[in-house]
A and B are shown apart, each in its own frame.
Chain A
């Protein structure tokens, strides 16, 4: 467990404050961030409009019809006073089945070649640990997760792809993520999952919430198809 952070409050907009908790990305940050998240939600109550936790910060968007800037600062300071890290058990755990294959994950071979290991070994390393969902952004349900094993760290593609299919699992530096819907993107794609990450017909609209734990599990083509997966190969850039 990391040391208790000393929260800093920054003005960022007429109706928003930034809580800065840490200066670097670390999984040990997350219990503190989650604790700050629930303390702020409780303290602001209905005067809170949105709260966006990220790797080292939380953005508080509050209702200016209810609070002045000074009142919002005061509320945030009180909420963050004597913060204790959230118990690990509050995080939900997910296992995501992935069909790792060069036809739907073109960078599987590029990364294997660079490290002089087999694609299977790249898959083994990607599945070997569980990841923390640090922040959601980029698209609805898109979670920035980490940290992938150092050897797999790969910079983003120099030219992003126009279309990355929904369910694509990729890495960028030491982060990993799944594209919830087809969108442009520059991450290195290793495979595809049939799991729906964002589904407004479902009670849990977004499968992931900040702080969740995620593990990947390799499945074969037949299982992927059984699960409703789309085997259409990825287009050339």
Chain B
């Protein structure tokens, strides 16, 4: 809780396009129309937390694209993971997957994407704030979560306070690459897949898809071959994370953390959580492929990732 915070603080000197406080997400509330939210690349947030000895789902900062400058009020140990956004501590470059100390008055600058799209910053014990419905995940559209509970992106003058003064930092010898090219996106097939025609199914899994510029925390559009589904109108139903829905224009939209809770377009299935994290690091214009997997396989890979943080 915010009141227990004992750690140091960072002040936002320049806000950039979108920096959000995120944790693992908001759960048990979707029947009320409240979305899950949470870090899009939850794997990178998990690594940033691991580097400081935090719980994997402690609240950190998700920095999209760059343009953010933070200034330290007090001495703080921080960890960085995820995309390379050309981060500097005053004039010293800071590589992703490192732990470093920031002294009072020093500035941490996130410039622009060098590799990947979203960087994650962890503070000792996580960022202190009052959770809304069990989570600090910022959902701007729903005005829930974040520093003041209103879901806002960070703005100039905001203060990020660490929950703890101390941390147990760790080293990662071989840092992962969250934006590795040529990693196919694992898609658990199901939902309305039987209603797509054979040629469309062949193309869905054998052709490249381009990440469109229409991409945000609700979903990412992909462009490529036109997929045809025999289903006409559908009655709205619950939508899982990573759902690959195909509207009448035949171009899929992968639904991510801030998606609406119910919807009515046919779906091929859903990307695995690991594939969602990978997609969140793709820049517009990048090519991706789908690879069909069973839920058993997706689960094994997911649990293996969680085990790395034990």
State the A residues within 8 Å of B (CB): 10-16, 18, 24-25, 49-59, 61, 64-65, 68-69, 135-144, 181, 183, 198, 200, 205-206, 209-210
Contacts and interface: CB of A to CB of B under 8 A. Distances in A.
Contacts of B273: 14-15
Nearest to B262: A137
Contacts of B236: 54-55, 135, 137, 144
B240 interface: yes
A209 B262 CA distance: 14
B237 A18 contact: yes
A55 B31 contact: no
Chain B interface bracket (under 10, 10 to 19, 20 to 34, 35 or more) = 35 or more
A71 to B, nearest CB: 11
A58 B240 CA distance: 11
A141 to B, nearest CB: 6
Interface in B22-39: 27-34, 36
Contact of B31 (A11, A16, A50, A65): A50
Given A11-B295, A16-B270, A68-B296, A54 B240 contact: no
B142 interface: yes
Given A12-B243, A14-B270, A54-B262, A59 B237 contact: yes
Contact of A52 (B132, B242, B262): B262
Interface of B: 27-34, 36, 132-133, 141-144, 149, 188-191, 235-243, 260-263, 267, 269-270, 272-273, 294-296, 298-299, 302-303, 306
A57 B32 CA distance: 15
A68 B299 CA distance: 8
Contacts of B299: 14-15, 64, 68-69
Given A141-B32, A200-B133, A64 B302 contact: yes
Contacts of B306: 65
B33 to A, nearest CB: 4
